[in-house]
């Protein structure tokens, strides 16, 4: 890990994420009754639990609204859920105001053009490998794992390792 990335990771106090394409693979399944289904990665979920336990806040910024997202976010005790957030800039500004964080203390993960304005502002801009090229060009980090397949967990581990919290988490799990 290069020194610049480690410096950025060390400052993170809030991880905010898009949903479709980041927490999920981007596919939206609609059943015959019109009910939307989403598939979330269990390791991403457990990583979010570990991150919260380490004292780092979490948030969702999604341009869409979905009962599946609400249910998953509540299950994981995500600190702030912003749905129907389009454009995302005003929801992001409200998020940092309410969280007490500065841009520099926020990591945002995105994959598509609506995420671009937020990625340009945050201290650590992260894109997934299946993101639009415009996002990958400005990202400080592009995950090796795809959205919905452990990308969020990858970033969580980077944050916790850079902040010296990962070894204690692993030691607690070994007991």
Tens digit of pLDDT for each residue in 46-75?
A: 999 999 999 999 999 999 999 999 999 999
Is residue 94, in this structure, part of any structural domain at all? Answer: yes
Task: Quote the domain boundaries for residue 76.
Answer: 3-170
> Domain containing 125 — which CATH number?
3.40.50.1000
Is residue 175, in this structure, part of any structural domain at all? Answer: no
Query: What pLDDT does residue 1 have?
Result: 74
Is residue 130, in this structure, part of any structural domain at all? Answer: yes
Is residue 121, in this structure, part of any structural domain at all? Answer: yes
SS3 82: strand
Is residue 53, in this structure, part of any structural domain at all? Answer: yes
Per residue in 80-100, pLDDT (tens digit) is: 999 999 999 999 999 999 999
Which residues touch 62 (CB under 8 Å, ≥6 apart)?
18, 19, 20, 69, 82, 83, 84, 85
Give the DSSP H/E element, type plus range, for residue 32. none
Q: Where are the beta strands (DSSP E) in 46-113?
A: 57-61, 80-82, 106-110
- The CA distance from 109 to 99, in Å, is 17
% of the chain surpassing 70 pLDDT: 100
Is residue 90, in this structure, part of any structural domain at all? Answer: yes
Is residue 80, in this structure, part of any structural domain at all? Answer: yes
- The CA distance from 161 to 168, in Å, is 10
Strands 36-37 and 29-30 come out as: antiparallel
Q: Give the number of other Cβ atoms within 10 Å of residue 45's Cβ.
A: 16
Is residue 40, in this structure, part of any structural domain at all? Answer: yes
Number of domains in the chain: 1
């Amino acid at each position: 890990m290069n020194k610049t990335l480690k410096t950025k990771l060390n400052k993170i106090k809030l991880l905010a994420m898009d949903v479709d394409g980041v927490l999920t693979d981007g596919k939206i399944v609609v059943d015959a009754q019109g009910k939307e289904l989403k598939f979330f990665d269990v390791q991403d979920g457990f990583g979010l639990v570990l991150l919260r336990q380490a004292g780092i806040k979490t948030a969702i910024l999604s341009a869409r609204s979905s009962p599946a997202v609400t249910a998953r976010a509540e299950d994981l005790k995500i600190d702030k859920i912003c749905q129907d957030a389009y454009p995302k800039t005003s929801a992001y500004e409200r998020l940092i105001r309410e969280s007490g964080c500065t841009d520099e203390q926020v990591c945002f993960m995105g994959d598509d053009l609506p995420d671009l304005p937020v990625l340009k502002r945050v201290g650590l801009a992260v894109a997934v490998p299946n993101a639009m090229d415009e996002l990958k060009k400005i990202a400080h980090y592009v995950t090796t794992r795809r959205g919905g397949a452990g990308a969020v967990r990858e970033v969580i581990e980077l944050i916790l390792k850079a902040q010296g919290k990962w070894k204690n988490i692993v030691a607690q799990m070994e007991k």
